[in-house]
A = this chain, B = another copy of it.
């Protein structure tokens, strides 16, 4: 609805990339084309450097820019956008520390990650969830033990996106002798490390292009330098205070799905003067646009708040509110689009069918719609949402 008002070369580049991804999105969805070419295009567009600070050779993108990049990319292929998001989730918090001096080990780790991406074009991914426990840190069973050279990891991760596509995986693991939260640490595991293997790809109703599979680690040796931030015992604290990457890094992608639905409807109606001229169709389109724009304004506003006051109550609440809203938007927009487009929207090969299936995922991904509402409601009612006991991690 809104054109970009200032020169935004980054988004124009991404727009062009989305145009190249769009023609194969349905084939990737059906499994008749590989998503690998899409990710190759993302690499070649230089997007892996999106979040790396400018002084380190990256684009230095803000959370808002990240969100808008996903939104634009997803109008081409939402699965690729969501896969790409996992690279950003894996490194996002690290990039945000760029202006903060860190202890030596952490500085080294950060420099290594930035260099791997900027100089060697490496793609990262995140491997946190496990079967049965979801993304809850407190229930993680993948274990690590210390050796002289570093660490040895054993366990199985579920729902690892970019499986076999990414070069590195940020893996959460628990010290083998501990049951405490603060003994969960993160490690960077390479796809080439001995003992790493990927299992069956998840057969989801959509988003096959995220290349999501299980990842098994059997006695995987990880050198000391790949301990995340060089410190054992990742605190729950950060997670509670800054939910934006984990729970809302992908918001933009689902906004992009809604936008793609809107464009599909407008393209379909463009050739149909009778329906285009109908007052009720115009009102329905009006309603559709208002809902999308209200959600977009909320999502962009939340991302702007993250950039301005990351981790604040205001920013977090805005993030959860936006995540909830974008999760509700997609299925509603898709259903309305079917009504507006009629039977041609119901053909198996209609892109709208793919978009409708993709739109379902948002509300279910953590934080779920129910969790988001609970956070926003509790915050408004004055509960201390920073107190981990008020949340369900």
Interface segment out of the listed A92-100, A105-113, A335-343: A335-343
Q: Mark A335-373, 1 if CB is under 8 A from B, else 0.
A: 100110011011111100100110011011000111011
Interface of A is mostly: helix
Contact A205 B335 (CB under 8 A): no
A7 at the interface (CB under 8 A from B): no
A5 CB–B CB distance under 8 Å: yes
By beta carbon, the residue of chain B nearest A313 is B3
A280 at the interface (CB under 8 A from B): yes
| Contact assessment for A283 and B286 in the assembled complex, using a CB-CB cutoff below 8 Å | no
Q: Across the interface, which residues of B come within 8 angstroms of A285, CB to CB?
A: 376-377, 380-381
Report chain B residues within 8 Å CB of A276. 381
Asked if A290 and B373 sit within 8 Å, CB to CB, the answer is: yes
Minimum Cβ distance to chain B for residue A295 (Å):
6
CA separation between A356 and B358, bound complex, in Å? 13
In the complex the two chains form, what is the Cα distance from A294 to B202 in whole Å? 34
Known contacts A346-B360, A346-B361: does B286 contact A374 (CB below 8 Å)? Answer: yes
Residues of chain B within 8 A (CB-CB) of A356 are: 360
Residue in B321, B339, B380 whose CB lies within 8 Å of A369: B339
Give chain B nearest CB distance to A281 CB in angstroms.
7
Each complex incorporates copies of this chain amounting to: 4
Complex CA–CA separation, A65 to B382 (angstroms): 28
Which residues 278-292 of A have a CB within 8 angstroms of B?
278-287, 289-290
| Cross-interface CB contact of A283 among B293, B339, B374, cutoff 8 Å | B374
Q: Which residue of the partner chain, among B5, B301, B314, B335, contacts A360 with CB atoms under 8 Å?
A: B335
CB distance from A293 to the nearest CB of B (A): 5
> Contacting A342 at CB < 8 Å: which of B269, B290, B364, B381?
B364
Q: Which residue of B lies closest to A330 (CB)?
A: B335
Contact between B377 and A346, CB atoms less than 8 A apart: no
Residue A175 at the chain B interface, CB threshold 8 Å: no
Contact A380 B317 (CB under 8 A): no
Kindly identify which residue among B203, B289, B377, B378 contacts A376, using a CB–CB cutoff of 8 Å.
Answer: B289
Given A287-B373, A331-B331: A1 in contact with B346 (beta carbons within 8 A): no
Decide: A2 and B266 in contact? CB cutoff 8 A. Answer: no
Contacts of A298 on B, CB cut-off 8 Å? Answer: 290, 293-294, 297-298
Question: A234 to chain B: closest CB distance in Å?
Answer: 24
List 9 additional A-B contacts (Cβ < 8 Å) besides A280-B373, A335-B363: A206-B346, A266-B381, A283-B373, A286-B321, A293-B318, A297-B300, A331-B338, A346-B364, A356-B360
Q: Is there an interface contact between B290 and A349, defined as CB atoms closer than 8 Å?
A: no
Confirm or deny: A103 has a beta carbon within 8 angstroms of a beta carbon on chain B. Answer: no
* A and B contact pairs by CB, cutoff 8 A, 25 listed: A1-B321, A2-B318, A3-B314, A5-B308, A202-B347, A203-B348, A279-B374, A282-B381, A283-B373, A285-B381, A286-B380, A289-B321, A290-B298, A293-B301, A293-B321, A294-B298, A297-B298, A331-B335, A331-B338, A335-B360, A338-B363, A339-B363, A339-B364, A339-B370, A346-B361
Residues of B within 8 A of A56 (CB): none
Contacts of A270 in B (CB 8 A): 381-382
CA distance A290 to B298 in the complex (A): 9
- Whose C-beta in chain B lies nearest to the C-beta of A305? B2
Residues on B with beta carbons closer than 8 Å to the beta carbon of A346: 204-206, 360-361, 364
Residues of B within 8 A of A308 (CB): 5
A135 CB to closest chain B CB (Å) equals 11
- Whether a CB of chain B sits under 8 angstroms from the CB of A147 is no
Q: By the criterion CB–CB under 8 Å, are B380 and A289 in contact? A: yes
Residues of B within 8 A of A20 (CB): none
> Is A174 an interface residue when CB atoms closer than 8 A count as contact?
no
